[in-house]
Structure 1
Amino acid sequence: MLSWSVIEYRAKYEAAGELSHVKDIIKWGTDYFLKTFNHTMDTINTLLHRKTIYLRIIVGVGDASEGSLSPNDLYCWMRPEDIDYPQAVTECHSCSDLVAEMATAVASASIVFKDNKAYTQKLVHGAKILFIFARGGAWLYYATGNSSYLKFATTTGLAKHAGAFWGGPYYGVLSWDNKLTVA
């Protein structure tokens, strides 16, 4: 989302003198993502991730440790750099929702960093690998111009799976589990 805002409002960030700052923030996140898998390979089948609140609550992975005297992510909401207790890191072999979000973030960040060709190529390659793992086409099409990504992102099957044909009150609403509106 932050990369998207820079893509859309780059001139505003420049006028406010914040473009360099926001790019540093985006780079911090994308560098972290690239460290969670071997981004130099052509395919991956494993991703390392922290068991975060998102995964505990939405996916039901991990232990919230209610009543525990030990700190955990539910009771210690703070900046990651201030956390001084152990954080679980696990391997993920079927976390396509997480990986699709990462592919989107990395591909959109590659557009933000188009003035840094080497970093952009690194991000696009990482996004392609993540796409293969999870499939995340619209932003990869935008980042690369490769129409096969657009074709995948606009297939009837994908729209049907996202609930595009049944309408409903939430169709077209951007949320954690529906990014079709952005595509």
Structure 2
Amino acid sequence: MEQPRHDIADDTRDETPDERADRNWTDLLQEFRVLQTGVQLLSGFLLTLPFHNSFGDLDGFQRNTYLALVLLAATTTACVLAPISVHRRIFRQRRKERLVQFGHRLVRVVLGLTGALLAGTTFFIFDVVLARAEALVVGGVMLALVTTALLVAPLAMGPAPATHDDSD
């Protein structure tokens, strides 16, 4: 029987490497579910816009911004789907730890894409509803908030304890 492994950062858990990988994968899936919901809502909003009468009133810059946001939403959606596709590919091959490492890296990418999508969509809405100057201010503030949430807040947790990997 495999002995439980006790890591420096995880010395209160009594779990095998396989159990740890399963727990980490479950945690990552929950994070992807939350991200997927937000991305779906923003994407759905964007995809309905061309079917509104006022869509024809957009200027060239607004149309290009809209199209860039649709591409960003599609890219983000594709990235959210990737870990599930990889899981299906390596299912029952006892490669869960590699899957966790892949998911860990990908969730960071998806967080960045989602943050850019959120800031971009906010900018776009303010540009259409108010004016470009207000949109630039609000978009900049939103970008600062997203940056704070994704970069500054995690750094406020302080340095991570030394471990053998960063999959936890």
User: Is TM > 0.5 for Structure 1 vs Structure 2?
Assistant: no
Where relative contact order (Cα < 8 A, 6+ residues apart) is larger, the structure is 2
Q: Which structure is higher in strand share?
A: 1
TM-score, normalization: structure 1? 0.29
Kindly indicate which of the two structures has a greater share of residues assigned to helix.
Answer: 2
Structure with bigger gyration radius: 2
